[in-house]
């Protein structure tokens, strides 16, 4: 059996070699994305990208992005919406998810197996043939399954992306024309209230669901801005999913800086849909998020923390949490009772405020479904919506706005 050990070692090194290759090309991809951002075609009135606004006063005097040609803006928006990631970009995202979340769960089991195989290759151990055979089979199957996960995950990232429907695109284009929306150099969309002269207000940063283009949230984000809430819909292009908490934090801070709203807004509410809600949940830690982010969070279409850190809990945190789901949400309804209970035990209680003022509010939209929190069409495993999409959007806006604008309770 010893003759198979080199082959097992090569299998073990393949994922690591692929990761090194992905990292080596990251600089080239970053440069390409920066070039795309600085030549953003949506700011057609100034012949280039939306410039970074250093302060709030500058943002109030800067002319909003408009279009001189009715055809050029749709074409420019279409180009960005249909921008697909490279296989390498998708692989790096899947590998990051594997490395940060899946591998730590199986590492306690794999380390002894690979340790024994390594010592055997170095002739430091001499297990009998049966034990060696079992170790080789287990080690090989584990690595093959890991590689299969990476390959299928990469294909999933490329093939199952959700585009915004035309209605959502039209809303975004109309808001940009009227000066009520801006697409930032980083790709995020900012929806502005009618009256921007109010000194202090609460803003919201919305993280989209996995593989969903952030423009699909334009219908809800625009209505929230009509209620006086500035909304940044975070871009996660080109892969449309980022598992790394630090990367998500930095992306949100970059969007705030480029929006010019950091002096107009004194509190930012973090919100997310589906996997974006998981991102928000994981962002709320004292060491990861500035204090202005950690007071309220909004979770749409959410009932478990799929990629959370072991032992992570907001039970005694000062957060006010809104968990807004829909009765026909096939994704959330498919969550096991144990996973749902674990999630409910990890957020502040719903019956009363905890000692730090934290409390969770649960709400359900009757007749709504998972895809109804945006406008991107149908979704696999989702239930059938029994109310019009506009009605679900209106209920999402009303419930979310009431929660966001409600005064924060004092701790006991």
State whether 12 and 127 are in the same domain: yes
Q: Counting every residue, how long is the chain?
A: 412
**Do 375 and 218 meet the contact criterion of CB atoms below 8 Å apart?**
yes
Contacts of 131 (CB under 8 A, 6+ apart): none
State whether 218 and 319 are in the same domain: yes
Contacts of 54 (CB under 8 A, 6+ apart): 260
State whether 178 and 222 are in the same domain: yes
Q: How many separate domains does the chain show?
A: 2
Residue that terminates a domain, selected from 159, 174, 189: 159
State whether 212 and 143 are in the same domain: no
The proportion of the chain whose per-residue pLDDT surpasses 90, expressed as a percent, equals 40
Contacts of 40 (CB under 8 A, 6+ apart): 48, 49, 50, 183, 184, 185
Instruction: For 55-79, give the DSSP string.
Output: SHHHHHHSPPP--SSTTHHHHHHHH
- Whether 186 maps to a domain, the answer reads yes
Q: Which domain holds residue 16?
A: 2-25+86-159
- Whether 241 maps to a domain, the answer reads yes
Place of tokens 């007749």: 367
- Whether 49 maps to a domain, the answer reads no
Residue that terminates a domain, selected from 137, 159, 181: 159
Q: pLDDT by residue (tens digit) across 268-293? A: 999 999 999 999 998 887 666 776 77
- Whether 7 maps to a domain, the answer reads yes
- Does residue 194 have a pLDDT over 60? yes
State whether 142 and 273 are in the same domain: no
State whether 271 and 376 are in the same domain: yes
Give the pLDDT confidence score for residue 105 in this predicted structure: 67
Q: pLDDT by residue (tens digit) across 173-187? A: 999 999 999 999 999
Give the pLDDT confidence score for residue 88 in this predicted structure: 67
The overall pTM is greater than 0.85: no
Q: ∠119-121-124 over CA atoms, to 5°?
A: 40
- Whether 104 maps to a domain, the answer reads yes
> Per-residue pLDDT averaged across 2-18, rounded?
50
Q: pLDDT by residue (tens digit) across 58-112? A: 333 333 333 333 444 555 455 445 555 566 666 666 777 666 666 766 677 677 7
Distance CA 256, CA 245 (A): 17
- Whether 195 maps to a domain, the answer reads yes
The CATH number for 277's domain is 3.40.50.1820
Weakest mean pLDDT among 141-145, 300-304, 350-354, 362-366: 141-145
**Is beta strand 189-191 parallel, antiparallel or unpaired with respect to 231-233?**
antiparallel
State whether 132 and 202 are in the same domain: no
State whether 297 and 341 are in the same domain: yes
Residue that terminates a domain, selected from 159, 185, 203: 159
């Amino acid at each position: 059996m010893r003759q198979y050990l080199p082959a097992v070692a090569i299998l073990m090194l393949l994922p690591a070699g692929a990761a090194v290759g992905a990292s080596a090309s990251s600089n080239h991809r970053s440069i390409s994305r920066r070039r795309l951002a600085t030549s953003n075609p949506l700011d057609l009135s100034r012949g280039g990208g939306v410039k970074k606004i250093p302060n709030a006063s500058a943002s109030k005097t800067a002319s909003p992005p408009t279009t001189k040609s009715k055809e050029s803006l749709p074409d420019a928006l279409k180009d960005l919406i249909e921008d697909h990631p490279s296989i390498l970009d998708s692989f790096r995202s899947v590998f990051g998810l594997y490395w940060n979340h899946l591998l730590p769960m199986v590492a306690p089991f794999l380390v002894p197996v690979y340790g024994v195989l390594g010592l055997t290759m170095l002739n430091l151990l001499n297990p009998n043939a049966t034990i060696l055979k079992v170790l080789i089979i287990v080690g090989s199957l584990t690595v093959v399954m890991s590689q299969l996960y990476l390959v299928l995950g990469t294909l999933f990232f490329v093939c199952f992306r959700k585009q915004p429907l035309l209605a959502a695109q039209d809303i975004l284009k109309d808001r940009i024309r009227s000066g009520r929306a801006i697409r930032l150099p980083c790709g995020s969309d900012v929806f502005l209230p009618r009256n921007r002269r109010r000194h202090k207000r609460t803003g919201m940063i919305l993280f989209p669901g996995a593989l969903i283009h952030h423009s699909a949230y334009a219908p809800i984000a625009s209505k929230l801005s009509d209620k006086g809430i500035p909304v940044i819909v975070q871009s996660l292009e080109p892969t449309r999913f980022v598992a790394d908490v630090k990367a998500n934090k930095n992306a949100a801070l970059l969007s705030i800086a480029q929006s010019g709203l950091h002096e107009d807004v004194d509190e930012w509410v973090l919100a997310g849909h589906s996997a974006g809600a998981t991102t928000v949940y994981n962002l709320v830690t004292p060491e990861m998020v500035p204090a202005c982010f950690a007071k309220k969070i909004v979770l749409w279409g959410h009932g478990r923390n799929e990629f959370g850190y072991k032992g992570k809990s907001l039970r005694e945190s000062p957060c006010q949490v809104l968990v807004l789901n829909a009765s026909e949400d096939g994704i959330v309804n498919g969550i096991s009772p144990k996973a749902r209970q674990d999630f409910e035990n990890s957020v502040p209680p719903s019956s009363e405020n905890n000692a730090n003022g934290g409390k969770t509010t649960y709400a359900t939209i009757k007749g709504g479904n998972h895809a109804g929190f945006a406008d991107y069409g149908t979704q696999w495993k989702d239930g059938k919506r029994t109310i019009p999409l506009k009605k679900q959007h209106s209920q999402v806006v009303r419930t979310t706005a009431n929660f966001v604008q409600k005064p924060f309770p004092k701790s006991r």
